[in-house]
């Protein structure tokens, strides 16, 4: 039964999407969508209980078919990070669907299409997290663009068609360059199984320096656009600004994590790391520099915005900069912090987008110059907004602090980065506090300022209702729990991170041992590497 869980996590939303499409505007579309999302969450929760969080091996493996000529298989499985991302996606999707019930229903609402595409997005995102075949991963990585295109293009803001076209073409153009890299390395390795490809790519002599460089460039072309990293980021504020109020939660919450996830799980172990340790120091430095620029640049741009959604969009650019910096540090705490950051920022940014959407539904604007003092009329909304703001700026005891601290600490202590990276990243935290508190201050405090009634029906105005609070409460709880007690998550993420950086860790240990003259220690490190790689291969044999 365990083998069926992951395929169900992909299939159930797709079936739900079909039912929503058939149900259309007149049927119980919203109920179907919510039930599907909750069912997805229930299955993900059950899968989490079947998952052993204390071992390194990938679990719940399933293989649905094989295409022998290419050695391509429909293989799925999860490790701790994937499992956590599946759970986070599930929670965010349920919350997003529940929050979207404030959409005007009835004829012309295109409810069927809206919820169908939301569920397709859920299914394809789950596919990315659980795919264990490179081609399958790539397929889901690109398939996500389809529901995004229709969600933004059909239900978005005034410039929705331009935004939809931009996100599709921009990210697709990058991914076109990744496909040859994936095909090359998969065909050379004789398999597209991710673990086996990584093992082959890291082994001595399989990939020359030139080959590894071009494979890495191809992968980075796609992943850097999808993350996004400065200067390949301009699709993101446009897309996030035009995306519909509550589909944005999914879009911003999880889609932006795809690129960083791919960088961590594929680009780093294949392109950056080889048997001898770090294989592409220049590329690593360049990506790290771009990440730091993104942190500062995203923060400055966010401060200059007057549209609350665009503030959050640029804030996401800054946050993913921290994630990439943690990954590029190639240290244990950096990569674990970056992994935790993926989850934390999805929750926090998702919650902020939700509340901004709720404010927009009431007042018909997100312009910070037209709104003010909303804390007087929306005290509950102000509470949630304040909580999510504090989490976003990294206040201790909330989830943002833990991951920010770890990524910055990793920048300081990484042998591949250094103090300069850490200092610049720390400045990014200051910028984060500036633009987030500035936005919160303008929106929530001071004299009450709202547009004249006429833009939006007065019926909608007022504080959050029970449905909206129900949507926000799980996120608020997660923010506090992950902030106060992140240890279990950090402990389990070790099992994801250690195999990815094993050769680098071994090379560092060898260098330290050689420096202190311990030949026996070097031998034992090499023996450990043999056990490590042997265990990883056994793990991918299926469990």
Question: Are 17 and 117 a contacting pair, CB within 8 Å?
Answer: yes
Q: How far is the CB of 491 from another protein (least distance, A)?
A: 8
# residues near another protein by CB under 8 A: 20
Query: Nearest CA to 56 among 75, 78, 74?
Result: 78
Other Cβ atoms closer than 10 A to 514 = 12
Q: Which residues, numbered 329-358, are part of the site for another protein (CB under 8 A)?
A: 332
Other Cβ atoms closer than 10 A to 267 = 27
Tokens, residue 478: 């997660």
Segment interacting with another protein (CB under 8 A) among 50-58, 186-194, 303-311, 362-370: 303-311
Read off the DSSP letter of residue 124: H
Radius of gyration from C-alpha coordinates of the chain: 23
d(CA 302, CA 319): 12
Please say which residue, 143 or 300, places its beta carbon nearer to another protein.
300
Please say which residue, 305 or 316, places its beta carbon nearer to another protein.
305
Please say which residue, 64 or 293, places its beta carbon nearer to another protein.
293
401 binds another protein per the rule CB under 8 A? no
Segment interacting with another protein (CB under 8 A) among 28-36, 104-112, 452-460, 490-498: 490-498
Please say which residue, 18 or 437, places its beta carbon nearer to another protein.
437
Segment interacting with another protein (CB under 8 A) among 17-25, 107-115, 137-145, 483-491: 483-491
Query: Nearest CA to 118 among 94, 141, 136?
Result: 94
289 binds another protein per the rule CB under 8 A? no
305 binds another protein per the rule CB under 8 A? yes
Segment interacting with another protein (CB under 8 A) among 121-129, 192-200, 230-238, 470-478: 230-238
Other Cβ atoms closer than 10 A to 165 = 14
Q: How far is the CB of 195 from another protein (least distance, A)?
A: 24
Other Cβ atoms closer than 10 A to 59 = 22
Please say which residue, 138 or 297, places its beta carbon nearer to another protein.
297
SS3 267: helix
Neighbouring residues of 510: CB distance < 8 A, sequence distance ≥ 6: 522, 525, 526
**Burial (0-12, 13-18, 19+ Cβ within 10 Å), 466:** exposed
* 3-class SS letters over 201-256: HHCCCCCCHHHHHHHHHHHHHHHHHHCCCCCCCCHHHHHHHHCCCCHHHHHHHHHH
Q: How far is the CB of 397 from another protein (least distance, A)?
A: 14
Spell out, one character per residue from 419 to 458, where the chain touches another protein: x when CB under 8 A holds, - when not.
Answer: ---------------x------------------------
Q: How far is the CB of 205 from another protein (least distance, A)?
A: 32
SS3 53: coil
234 binds another protein per the rule CB under 8 A? yes
48 binds another protein per the rule CB under 8 A? no
166 binds another protein per the rule CB under 8 A? yes
Segment interacting with another protein (CB under 8 A) among 82-90, 163-171, 363-371, 534-542: 163-171
Residue selected from 205, 487, 515, 520 as contacting another protein according to rule CB under 8 A: 487
> Which stretches does DSSP call E strand in 71-228?
72-78
Please say which residue, 305 or 407, places its beta carbon nearer to another protein.
305
- Cis check: omega of the bond before 228, within 30 degrees of 0: yes
Question: Are 247 and 151 a contacting pair, CB within 8 Å?
Answer: yes
The residues with which 63 forms a beta bridge, in sequence order, are 75
Q: How far is the CB of 469 from another protein (least distance, A)?
A: 33
Helices (H), 251-398: 256-262, 281-304, 308-329, 332-363, 379-392
Residue selected from 4, 304, 523, 527 as contacting another protein according to rule CB under 8 A: 304
Q: How far is the CB of 475 from another protein (least distance, A)?
A: 25
Residue selected from 16, 123, 237, 321 as contacting another protein according to rule CB under 8 A: 237
139 binds another protein per the rule CB under 8 A? no
Q: How far is the CB of 64 from another protein (least distance, A)?
A: 37
d(CA 534, CA 103): 53
297 binds another protein per the rule CB under 8 A? yes
378 binds another protein per the rule CB under 8 A? no
211 binds another protein per the rule CB under 8 A? no
Please say which residue, 279 or 295, places its beta carbon nearer to another protein.
295
Contacts with another protein by CB under 8 A lie at 166, 169-170, 231, 234-235, 237-238, 297, 300-301, 303-305, 332, 434, 487, 490-491, 494
């Amino acid at each position: 039964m365990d083998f069926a869980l992951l395929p169900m996590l992909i299939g159930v939303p797709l079936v739900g999407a079909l039912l929503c499409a058939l149900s259309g505007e007149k049927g119980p579309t919203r109920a179907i969508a919510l039930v599907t999302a909750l069912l997805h969450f229930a299955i993900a929760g059950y899968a989490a209980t079947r998952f052993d969080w204390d071992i390194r091996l990938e679990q719940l493996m399933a293989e649905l078919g094989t295409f022998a000529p290419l050695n391509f298989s429909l293989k799925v499985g999860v490790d701790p990070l994937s499992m956590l991302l599946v759970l986070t996606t599930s929670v965010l999707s349920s919350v997003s669907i529940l929050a979207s019930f404030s959409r005007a229903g009835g004829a012309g609402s295109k409810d069927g299409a809206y919820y169908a595409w939301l569920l397709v997005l859920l299914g394809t995102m789950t596919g990315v997290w659980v795919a264990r075949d490179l081609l399958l991963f790539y397929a889901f990585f690109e398939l996500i663009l389809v529901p995004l295109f229709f969600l933004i293009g059909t239900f978005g803001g005034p410039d929705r068609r331009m935004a939809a076209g931009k996100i599709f073409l921009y990210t697709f153009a990058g991914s076109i360059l990744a496909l040859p890299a994936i095909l090359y390395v998969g065909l050379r390795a004789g398999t597209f199984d991710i673990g086996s490809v990584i093992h082959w790519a890291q082994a001595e002599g399989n990939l020359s320096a030139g080959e590894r460089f071009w494979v890495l460039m191809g992968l980075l072309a796609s992943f850097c656009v999808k993350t996004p990293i400065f200067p390949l980021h301009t699709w993101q504020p446009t897309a996030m600004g035009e995306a519909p109020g509550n589909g944005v939660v999914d879009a911003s919450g999880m889609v932006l994590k795809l690129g960083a996830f791919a960088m961590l799980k594929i680009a780093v172990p294949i392109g950056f790391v080889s048997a001898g340790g770090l294989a592409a120091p220049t590329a690593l430095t360049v990506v790290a520099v771009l990440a730091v620029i993104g942190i500062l640049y995203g923060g400055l741009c966010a401060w200059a915005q007057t549209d609350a959604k665009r503030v959050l969009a640029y804030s996401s650019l800054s946050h993913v900069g921290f994630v990439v910096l943690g990954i590029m540090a190639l240290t244990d705490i950096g990569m674990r912090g970056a992994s935790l950051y993926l989850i934390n920022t999805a929750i926090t940014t998702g919650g902020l987008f939700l509340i901004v959407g709720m404010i927009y539904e009431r007042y018909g604007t997100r312009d910070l110059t037209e709104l003010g003092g909303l804390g007087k009329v929306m005290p509950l909304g102000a509470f949630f907004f304040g909580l999510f703001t504090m989490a976003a700026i990294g206040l201790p005891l909330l989830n943002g602090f833990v991951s920010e601290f770890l990524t910055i600490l990793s920048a300081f202590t990484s042998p591949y980065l250094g103090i300069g990276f850490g200092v610049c990243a720390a400045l990014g935290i200051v910028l984060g506090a500036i633009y987030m508190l500035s936005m919160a201050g303008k929106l929530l405090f001071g004299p009450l300022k709202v547009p004249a009634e006429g833009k939006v029906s007065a019926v909608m105005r007022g504080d959050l209702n029970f449905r909206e609070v129900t949507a926000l409460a799980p996120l608020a709880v997660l923010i506090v729990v992950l902030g106060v007690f992140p240890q279990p998550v950090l402990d389990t993420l070790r099992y994801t991170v250690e195999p990815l950086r094993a050769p680098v860790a071994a090379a560092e240990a060898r260098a330290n041992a050689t420096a202190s003259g311990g030949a026996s220690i070097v031998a034992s490190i090499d023996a450990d590497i043999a056990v490590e790689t042997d265990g990883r291969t056994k793990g991918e044999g299926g469990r």
